[in-house]
Amino acid sequence: MNKQKVVVFQGSPASSDLAFKELADRWNDGLSKIPEIESWEIFQASHLAPAQYWEKIGDSDAALGAWITGELMKESYIQQHPRLRYLSTLSHGFGEFDIPMTRRYNLTVTNTFYGGQTIAQYAIALLLDICHNISAHASYTRDGYWKEKAVNPHAPFLKTFSPQIELYGKTFGVIGLGHIGFCAAKMAAGLGMKVISYSRHAKVGPEYDFIRQVSLDELLAESDVISLHCPYSSENDRMINRESIAKMKDGVILINTARGGLIDEDDLYQALMDRKIYMAGLDVLREEPPKEKIPLLDCPYAIVTAHIAWLPKESRLRAVDLAIENFAAWLHGHPQSVIN
Cβ partners under 8 Å of residue 61, min gap 6: 2, 4, 5, 6, 83, 84, 85, 86
Neighbours of 286 (CB within 10 A): 17
* Distance separating alpha carbons of residues 60 and 47, to the nearest angstrom: 21
Which residue is catalytic, options 207, 288, 314, 332? 288
For residue 227, CA distances in Å to 123, 191, 241, 283, 317 come to 8, 15, 15, 12, 26
* Distance separating alpha carbons of residues 173 and 141, to the nearest angstrom: 34
In the residue annotation, 288 being an active-site residue is answered as yes
Which residue is catalytic, options 259, 265, 316, 318? 259
In the residue annotation, 137 being an active-site residue is answered as no
* Distance separating alpha carbons of residues 119 and 133, to the nearest angstrom: 20
Asked if 236 and 230 touch (Cβ cutoff 8 Å), the reply is yes
Which residue is catalytic, options 132, 212, 286, 307? 307
Neighbours of 139 (CB within 10 A): 13
* Active site positions, annotated: 259, 288, 307
